[in-house]
Chain A
Amino acid sequence: MDIQIRGVQKHYGSFHALRGIDLDIASGELLALLGPSGSGKTTLLRAIAGLEPLDGGLVKFGDVDATALSVQERKVGFVFQQYALFKHMTVLDNIAFGLSVRPKRERPDAATINKRVRELLELVQLGGLEKRYPAQLSGGQKQRVALARALAIEPRVLLLDEPFGALDAKVRKDLRRWLRQLHRETGYTTIFVTHDQEEALELADRVVVMNRGVIEQVGTTDEVWDAPLTPFVYDFLGTPNVLPGQVAGGVLRLSGASGALDAAPAAAEGTVDVYTRPNELRVAAADDPAALAGKVVETQRTGLLLRLGVQLLGSGAVIEVELPHPDPAVQRWQTGDTIRLRPARYRLFPRSGLAADAATGFDPTLTVTEHRSRSRS
């Protein structure tokens, strides 16, 4: 089932959680909503499920206007962060719940329900555990029961809120691979929320990067990684260095360098921020006029990478550089060495002020979850 989201708005009191979200999700797609806490990703997921009444906008499942449907009528499979399993019911009863609450004329008979539950248990690889209670299961098993329970109603779309948040690293990795495979087998349109960029990039067909109630970028892993549209996306995926620069007469010059680095698009005239990742910086020759001179203040060898902290001579700022495994033939960098660097890849953004933050009433100390619970009570 494909999903269209148009102009969705949500307020919690004075807090603007979703500011006009537009998004198209193709049938059978595996989509990640990625963002820091407070970005509105969970609110959007709950809005799709119908758990949050909207202040404006439209959610369509195929040709059906879902905004007019109740939670029950939407038929979404929702897997909650803490699983929300019914503690007093066995695994079997938990999974059967969605079928057994159907009105009598739509309800399958007991034998059919039983058969369906057993199929689902096999699908989530929990055969033989149907008599257990949730308290007797591990975190990963609970997660899979929650998934089976959501799949039992043959949902139009599968929604997962931080599906791996409460699991330890090993289980998380296994479950991630398994979920990917399950998605391939079942073909449900699946949307999951995460704040873990690695998880999003590894698992999803497309990633939606959200920040403060807006979508910053939608794209494949390659797209959001290689061509971040905004400084936020750059910042959120990795830790870029931000170098001040000037664009004048169509050429870019880094502040502190004597020569021009590159030709720059005419549109970016003026003061700019040059975003470059630690692994996109290269050691430059001593006579390169466009390079920045600095002093190595920190070295750290991590596996195949050598990570340097370099204090720029011009501005005094410390930037991070990642170099490949140092070849014995090449100079080994030591603290105190002088080094010249130039970015091999970078993106320009107009100089951002912090003034924009103040106007939105954004309180970084409050997460959306807190706003949500406050507005309820």
Chain B
Amino acid sequence: MTAVDRPGRRRSRRTLPGFTPTLGFTLFYLGLIVLIPLAGVFFKASGLGFAGIGQVIGSERVLAALRLSFGAAAIAALLNAVFGSIVAWVFVRYEFPGKRLFDAFIDLPFALPTAVAGIALTALYSENGWIGSVLAHAGLKVAYTPLGIVVAMTFIGLPFVVRTVEPVLREVERDLEEAAATLGARRWQTVLRVIAPAVFPALVTGFALAFARAVGEYGSVIFIAGNFPLVSEIAPLLIIIKLEEFDYPGATAVAATMLVLSFLLLLTINLLQAWTRKK
């Protein structure tokens, strides 16, 4: 061995040092906070064996709850994607009295204890509540139906869409809209072909976050849902019920199923995003 440095053998220096310790920390932290507890869920559920898990999941009540949780969450996230973008647009583009105040209201669903939100929504939408009584005249029943679940999930998901879309929308320079206008594009063409594509990836993120939050939501939903098995019983509630019956393997089997489904959906959304970004 000579003392001469051989470039090929030396560990290459990165321009941004600190990769190894930070990656190590990230993995350790992720493991401690996220992966170990989740692994526990799968470990507990695995006690049932595949057949046992299949039996738990295959039961009519569990299937209905899963369908309701994911279905209602998807509808709520879609509603939020549409109306949340409009809210974000208004906040970015216009000045109006009380804007700061309304801006703070947007974050309330983040901060409010979910049970409080659930009770408030139930009071409003029940048949003798302010909104519920009006809707009842129209023959629409919200509280204690799947519709009520969608309402609660929409409520808690709104800030996710608004807060992810807002900064991106702010970045869309006015120049771009003006350029489109000088080229002869009418307003709707500018919105559709210039602004929407720029905002779309952020909107998908907002949708994913709102959806994930809604799937896992418990506190606000159980008050308004009515919790009738097969009709308005959400999957997280079913897990609690199983726990209270000391059916731990059954509870973890449902939990693990929810985890896998959510993970697959979020992964799909992420891949979709990476694909649109590359395009």
Contact = CB atoms under 8 A, between A and B. Distances in A.
B185 interface: yes
A328 to B, nearest CB: 54
Interface string A42-57: 0000000101000000
Main secondary structure of the interface of B (DSSP, over half): helix
A72 to B, nearest CB: 5
Interface residues of A, number: 24
B182 interface: yes
A152 B183 CA distance: 9
A373 to B, nearest CB: 9
Nearest to B183: A98
A101 interface: yes
B79 interface: no
Contacts of B176: 84, 86
A360 interface: no
Main secondary structure of the interface of A (DSSP, over half): loop
B181 A84 contact: no
Contact of B184 (A75, A80, A84): A75
B173 A49 contact: no
Contacts of B95: 377
A97 B173 CA distance: 17
Nearest to A82: B175
B247 interface: no
A31 to B, nearest CB: 18
Given A49-B182, A72-B185, A150-B183, 16 more contacts: A72-B184, A78-B179, A84-B173, A84-B175, A86-B179, A97-B183, A97-B185, A98-B183, A98-B184, A101-B180, A101-B184, A101-B185, A101-B186, A101-B189, A149-B179, A153-B183
15 contacts: A51-B181, A71-B181, A71-B182, A72-B182, A72-B186, A78-B178, A78-B179, A80-B179, A84-B173, A88-B198, A88-B279, A97-B183, A101-B180, A101-B189, A153-B183
Interface of B: 95, 173, 175-176, 178-186, 189, 193-194, 197-198, 279
Interface of A: 49, 51, 71-72, 74-78, 80, 82, 84, 86-88, 97-98, 101-102, 149-150, 152-153, 377
